[in-house]
C-alpha cells in the first residue's frame, strides 16, 4: 500500500482492542482533500473511538493513519494538524473566550501579533467578536459551540474533527448551527470529519457518509446513494425517519420475471435493479414510507388493499399506519389526503424504488 499522499486523511487497516473487546476492526478509510465525511452510527459503534484515534487521543492496536501524506500513527495530537470540537464544548471555564481561543497558540509560543490576527479572523468568521471578553459560563449553548469551533479555527489546521458537536443543543439551535457548519465548510474548504448519530445531520452535511456498526464501516457513499440503495438492512433501517418499511416474504421466479410474495401479496419486481443475480428464497422487501402512495389508481401491476390502523399527523404531512402481511407498514401522505381510521385503502409504488435484502444475511440483493 502506498503512502496515500493525494488524500487528506488515510486510515489503513486500523484496529483497536480494549483487552478482549474489539472496538474497531481492520478499518480502511480514505478522505479526499476538502471532503466532508460524516461517521454515522448508533452509540457504541466505534465512530467516536475512530475519531479519537485520528486525533491521536487513543493509541491504535494495529494499522496506520496518514494525514496530509504524513504517517502520524505515533504523533502527539498537537503535531497532527488537526483541530477538534467536542460535544460538551470543553471550553476552559476559567479563561475568557479570547484566552480559550488563544490557548493552543500560546502553548506553541506563537508571537502576540500573530495570535491577535488569527483571533480577529476566527471571531469575524464565527461572529463572536462581542463575546471575546466573556467567560464560557456567560455564553449560551450555541455561542459556546461557536467558540469551540473557533478554537480549532485559530490553529490553522488541515483537518477538522467534530465529535457530535450539536448533540447538546436544542432542536432549533441544532438546525441553525448545522447550516453554519455547512457554510463554514464552503468558506474554508478544509477536510472535515464529523461524528454523529443524527441521520439528518449526516444527510444534510456530508459529501460522503460512512455508516458504522460494530466497529466496521457498513457503507461509505454519497448521502443519496446510501438513502436510495442501502447496502444492507441495517443501513436501510438506520437512515430515514420514519424508518423504511420491511416485509418478510419470498423471492419467486414467476413466468416473465421475478416477483416478491408474502401471504396473498404478489409484487412483480419488473424493473428492479438487482445488486446480484437473484435466486429464489426468503427475502425482506423494503420500501420507504414516502415512496408509497394511497388510492393512486389501478396503474400498478399488482393490487394491495389494507385497512388504516392509526393516523399520525405531523404537520407538513401525515403518517398512515397499516398492516401488510400482518407486519407494520407506514405510508407518508400529504396532509390534505389523510384517510380516516379503519378506512380501506389501496397501495401503489414503483418496485424500482424498493430494496430487497437477503433475510438471513441482511445484504442487498
Q: Does 20 bind another protein (CB under 8 A)?
A: no
Q: Which is nearer to another protein, 105 or 231 (CB)?
A: 105
Q: Does 242 bind another protein (CB under 8 A)?
A: no
Give, as ranges, the residues between 78 and 137 that touch another protein (CB under 8 A): 78, 82-84, 86-94, 103-104, 107-108, 136-137
Q: Which of 63, 77, 142, 214 binds another protein (CB under 8 A)?
A: 77
Q: Which of 47, 118, 151, 208 binds another protein (CB under 8 A)?
A: 151
Question: Backbone phi, then psi, for 171, in 5-degree steps?
Answer: -55, -40
Q: Does 74 bind another protein (CB under 8 A)?
A: no
Q: Which is nearer to another protein, 89 or 194 (CB)?
A: 89
Distance in angstroms (rounded) separating the CA atoms of residues 249 and 355: 13
Shortest Å distance, C-beta 107 to another protein: 5
Shortest Å distance, C-beta 80 to another protein: 9
Distance in angstroms (rounded) separating the CA atoms of residues 34 and 190: 5
Q: Does 197 bind another protein (CB under 8 A)?
A: no
Helix (H, G, I), strand (E, B) or coil at 334: strand
User: C-alpha cell of 22?
Assistant: 474489539
User: C-alpha cell of 229?
Assistant: 440503495
- 130-158 as b/e, with b when 16 or more CB fall inside 10 Å? ebbeebbeebeebbbbbbbbbbbbbbebb
Question: Any idea which residue has 454515522 for its cell?
Answer: 40
Q: Does 21 bind another protein (CB under 8 A)?
A: no
Distances (CA, A) of 298 to 186, 294, 323, 347, 348: 47, 11, 20, 10, 8
Shortest Å distance, C-beta 95 to another protein: 8
Q: Which is nearer to another protein, 192 or 294 (CB)?
A: 192
Residues in the interface with another protein (CB under 8 A) total: 26
Q: Which is nearer to another protein, 82 or 287 (CB)?
A: 82
Alpha helices in 31-111 (DSSP H): 47-55, 97-108
Shortest Å distance, C-beta 135 to another protein: 8
Q: Does 142 bind another protein (CB under 8 A)?
A: no
DSSP letters for 138-196: GS-HHHHHHHHHHHHHHTT-SEEEEESTTTTS-HHHHHHHHHHHHHHHHHH--EEEEEE
Contact 3, 30 (CB under 8 A): no
Beta-carbon contacts of residue 51 (< 8 Å; ≥ 6 apart)? 39, 84, 161, 163, 193, 195
Q: Which is nearer to another protein, 94 or 328 (CB)?
A: 94
Helix (H, G, I), strand (E, B) or coil at 32: strand
Q: Which is nearer to another protein, 92 or 274 (CB)?
A: 92
Q: Does 140 bind another protein (CB under 8 A)?
A: no
Give, as ranges, the residues between 302 and 321 that touch another protein (CB under 8 A): none
Q: Which is nearer to another protein, 98 or 221 (CB)?
A: 98
Q: Does 178 bind another protein (CB under 8 A)?
A: no
Sign of the CA dihedral 334, 337, 340, 346?
negative
Contact pattern for another protein over residues 33 through 72, marking x by CB under 8 A = -------------------x--x-x---------------
Cis bond before residue 242 (omega within 30° of 0): yes
Shortest Å distance, C-beta 83 to another protein: 7
Q: Which is nearer to another protein, 52 or 284 (CB)?
A: 52
What is the contact surface with another protein in residues (CB under 8 A)?
52, 55, 57, 76-78, 82-84, 86-94, 103-104, 107-108, 136-137, 151, 155
Amino acid at each position: 500500500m502506498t503512502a496515500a499522499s493525494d488524500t487528506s486523511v488515510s486510515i489503513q487497516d486500523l484496529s483497536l482492542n480494549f483487552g478482549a473487546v474489539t472496538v474497531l476492526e481492520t478499518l480502511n478509510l480514505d478522505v479526499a482533500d476538502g471532503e466532508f465525511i460524516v461517521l454515522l452510527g448508533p452509540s457504541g459503534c466505534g465512530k467516536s473511538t475512530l475519531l479519537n484515534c485520528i486525533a491521536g487521543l487513543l493509541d491504535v492496536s494495529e494499522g496506520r493513519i496518514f494525514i496530509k501524506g504524513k504517517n502520524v500513527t505515533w504523533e502527539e495530537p498537537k503535531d497532527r494538524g488537526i483541530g477538534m470540537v467536542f460535544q460538551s464544548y470543553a471550553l476552559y471555564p476559567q479563561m475568557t473566550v479570547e484566552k480559550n481561543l488563544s490557548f493552543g497558540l500560546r502553548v506553541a509560543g506563537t508571537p502576540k501579533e500573530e495570535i491577535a490576527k488569527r483571533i480577529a479572523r476566527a471571531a469575524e468568521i464565527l461572529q463572536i467578536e462581542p463575546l471575546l471578553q466573556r467567560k464560557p459560563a456567560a455564553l449560551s449553548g450555541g455561542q459556546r459551540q461557536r467558540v469551540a469551533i473557533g478554537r480549532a479555527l485559530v490553529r490553522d489546521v488541515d483537518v477538522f474533527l467534530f465529535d457530535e458537536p450539536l448533540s447538546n443543543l436544542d432542536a432549533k439551535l441544532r438546525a441553525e448551527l448545522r447550516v453554519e457548519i455547512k457554510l463554514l465548510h464552503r468558506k474554508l474548504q478544509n477536510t472535515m470529519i464529523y461524528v454523529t448519530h443524527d441521520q439528518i445531520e449526516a444527510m444534510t452535511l456530508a459529501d460522503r457518509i460512512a455508516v458504522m456498526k460494530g466497529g466496521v464501516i457498513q457503507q461509505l457513499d454519497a448521502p443519496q446513494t446510501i438513502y436510495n440503495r442501502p447496502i444492507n438492512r441495517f443501513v436501510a433501517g438506520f437512515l430515514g425517519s420514519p424508518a423504511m418499511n420491511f416485509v418478510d416474504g419470498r423471492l419467486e421466479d414467476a413466468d416473465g420475471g421475478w416477483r416478491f410474495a408474502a401471504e396473498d401479496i404478489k409484487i412483480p419486481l419488473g424493473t428492479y435493479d438487482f445488486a446480484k443475480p437473484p435466486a429464489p428464497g426468503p427475502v425482506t422487501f423494503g420500501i420507504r414510507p414516502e415512496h408509497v402512495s394511497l388510492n393512486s389508481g389501478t396503474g400498478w401491476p399488482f393490487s394491495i388493499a389494507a385497512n388504516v390502523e392509526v393516523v399520525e399527523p405531523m404537520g407538513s404531512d401525515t403518517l398512515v399506519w397499516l398492516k401488510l402481511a400482518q407486519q407494520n407498514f407506514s405510508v407518508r401522505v400529504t396532509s390534505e389526503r389523510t384517510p380516516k381510521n379503519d378506512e380501506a385503502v389501496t397501495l401503489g409504488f414503483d418496485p424500482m424504488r424498493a430494496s430487497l435484502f437477503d433475510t438471513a444475511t441482511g445484504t442487498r440483493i
